[in-house]
Structure 1
Amino acid sequence: MEKTKGTLYVVGVPIGNLGDITLRALEVLKSVEIIVSEDTRSVKKLLTHYGCGPKKLISLYKEVEVEKTYKVLKLLEEAKDVVFTSEAGCPLISDPGAYLVKEAHKRGVKVVPVPGVSSLTCALSVSGVELTKGFIFLGFLPRKKTEQKKVLENLPENLPIVIFESPHRMGKTVKNLLEILGNRECFLARELTKLHEELLWTDLETLAQRENFLGEITLIILPRTDKEESVLLKKGLSGLKKRIRELKKEGLKPKEIAKILAEEYNIPAKEVYQLITEG
């Protein structure tokens, strides 16, 4: 019986070292003629390296995601098999393609995962961070500091936070992280699997003083420990309480006071607000 629809293979590709491709991924890449990728240049390099032969390549990046999705769905509905990859790593982890995969499911297209390496799991596996209680993955943070603050201040405080960042934004982002979260222990994973790979335990304060970041970055930020919290509060508790009283006399509301003092004392607004409400 002739199949009526093609299969969409979601294929993980290396994040740097081409040797990290799986045997199954190579088998699929060699057998399927249509390959959709966030960056056709990177997948072409991979195909050439492993002699996968000529393929029909379709680029699907963020700006054309919806438009290209319908072109790919048409091919699938014509019973053509299609491979989807990201530029690097496991597709859909902070990459375009979710719309395509979801629409394929809706239309009854068979979607097959062909898993591979991810910088997220790669960084976590070599960090030594305790993960039994889970972690929070945020992908790339918003560009604006105010938007970053909204995201970070509403998170549970007892779980590690994992973010991706590009080298040209990292310097600014880490300074914002220090201001919003306070100093935290963190693990920097840079250029994973590549020649200049860097794995470094440090803290946000030290990292904020660094001038140059080269290559793609995965940053794991630990929760503040009880000891760190008590030191932070003891450091300026009497002065902080005095300022709270002063601002209350000026008629400011607790949230307004928390925002002002968070900036003055370089501590999270949540902690200041808790101190105000506890009296």
Structure 2
Amino acid sequence: MSGAKQGTEPGTLYVVATPLGNLKDITLRALDILGTVDLIAAEDTRTTLKLLNAYQIKGPKLVPYHEHNEKEKAPLLIEKLLAGKSVALVSEAGTPGISDPGTFLVRLAHEKGVKVRPVPGPSAISTALSVSGLDLKRGFIFIGFLPSKKGERKKVLEQLKDEKRPFLCYEAPHRLKTMLADALEILGSRKVFVAREMTKKFEEYFWTDLPSLLEKISKKKSRGEFTLLIEGTSENLPSKIEIPPEERLDLLLTKGLSLKEAAKQVAQECGISRKEAYQLALKIKNALPEKP
């Protein structure tokens, strides 16, 4: 077995996150690992070479590892790992294995008893969510790239139609127009947060809706990969109640809900602010007869 180099352990597969665009978005640990492993399995060796050159990293051998050769390359990389070599797995950008090649190799490494270590860093998912301003306490759904075939794509969108949680997906610029048209047809007019060219020179982040985004895309050719965060449905929420908020609050308070609970529920149901709902609730509670 070869001896361990500084920063790495022999026979270990490192899953290394790399910048989405801005080369400064890399951790010191990632640089240490990339500079000391024996091999780097890279989705795009040209992109990885730019990163290595930017930080004057020389030595590790670059091995192409992408969706078209992973079944062939993974067993060979496992052989190297079992022989004591250290390997870094990187995608073209972001974190490997999340809508990028890597899961097959990682799963095989676990099966063969090879140590797998994450080197966390940039991810398109967390980057987009962090600047969306969306309250995610109830979670969200990540679906990666929607199917390229229209029928399969529509089937997935139909499954998401009644989902209350927002869902996040990636889309290539050449498929964006048809994807948005299908989404509008099945989901209706929904708010959507758009993140494009994240951390790059022409990055942009904005809220819009599906009809407006489709119109914009139809007028101008789009470039760069899109990350879309589409709001969930509110059809299954009691927001369609047609009684005044005062009557709804009176009913909930009579049932024993606290001021805070009643105000929160009515704010959601009637489309008013939580502060306004709480003030109404307080006024109604003070007018209720005291319990004996």
Task: Indicate the residue corresponding to 2:213 in structure 1.
Answer: 207
Cα distance, 1:150 vs structure 2: 1.3
1:8 pairs with 2:8: no
Note if 1:225 corresponds to 2:234.
yes
Report the 3-state secondary structure (helix = DSSP H, G, I; strand = E; otherwise coil) of the residue aligned with 2:69.
helix
Q: Secondary structure at the match of 1:168?
A: helix
Distance 2:238 2:182 in 1: 19
* Contact in 1 for aligned 2:34/2:60 (Cα 8 Å): no
Q: Where do 1:4-43 residues align within 5 Å?
A: 6-43=11-48
Look up the SS of the partner of 1:154 in the other structure.
Answer: helix
- In structure 2, distance between residues paired with 1:171 and 1:153: 18
Separation (CA, whole Å) in 2 of partners of 1:163 and 1:92: 15
Q: Distance in 2 between matches of 1:213 and 1:225?
A: 30
What's the CA shift for 1:78?
Answer: 1.0
CA distance in 2, matches of 1:157, 1:40: 39
The correspondence for 2:170, drawn from 161, 164, 168, is: 164
Q: 2: CA distance between counterparts of 1:153 and 1:5?
A: 48
Match of residue 83 from structure 1: 88
Give the match for residue 265 of structure 1.
Answer: none
Q: Which residue, 96, 113, 122 being the options, matches 1:117?
A: 122
C-alpha distance in structure 1 between counterparts of 2:187 and 2:237, whole Å: 12
User: What's the secondary structure of 1:68's corresponding residue?
Assistant: helix
> 2:53 aligned to 38, 48, 52, which one?
48
CA shift, 1:171, in A, is 1.4
Question: Considering only aligned residues, what root-mean-square deviation do their CA atoms show, in Å?
Answer: 2.1
Give the structure 1 partner of residue 190 of structure 2: 184
Q: How many residues align?
A: 231
Aligned partners of 2:111 and 2:45: how far apart in 1? Answer: 26
Classify 1:140/1:75 alpha carbon distance in 2 versus 1 (closer, same or farther; 3 Å).
same
Contact 1:171–1:213 (8 Å) recurs in 2: no
TM-score by length of 1: 0.79
Q: CA deviation at 1:137?
A: 0.5
Which residue in 1 is equivalent to 2:103? 98
Structure 1 Cα separation of the partners of residues 239 and 28 of structure 2:
52
Quote the Cα distance in structure 2 between the aligned partners of 1:140 and 1:222. 17
SS at match of 2:155: helix
Partner-residue secondary structure (3-state), 2:63 = strand
Q: Deviations over 1:45-92 (max 9, x none)?
A: 100000011331111111111101011111111100000001100111
Aligned residue in 1 for 2:139: 134
Deviation at 1:224, TM superposition (A): 2.9
2: CA distance, partners of 1:174 / 1:93: 22
Moved more, 166-175 or 183-192: 166-175
CA distance in 1 between counterparts of 2:77 and 2:36 reads 18
Alignment gaps of 5+ in structure 1: 232-279
TM-score by length of 2: 0.75
Once the two structures are overlaid, the 10-residue window that deviates more, 105-114 or 4-13, is: 4-13
| Alpha-carbon separation, structure 1, partners of 2:237 and 2:182 | 19
Give the deviation of 1:225 after TM superposition: 3.2
The amino acid that maps onto 1:171 is: K
For residue 227 of structure 1, report the CA deviation from its aligned partner: 10
- The answer to whether the Cα contact below 8 Å between 1:32 and 1:82 also exists between their aligned partners in 2 is yes
From the CA coordinates, give the structure whose radius of gyration is larger: 2
Identity %: 50
- Deviations for 1:114-167, whole angstroms, at most 9, x for unmatched residues? 001111110000001111111010100001221112112223511001000111
Q: Tell me whether 1:216 sits opposite 2:216 in the alignment.
A: no
Partner of 2:112: 107
Residues 35 and 57, structure 1, Cα contact 8 Å, conserved in 2 = yes
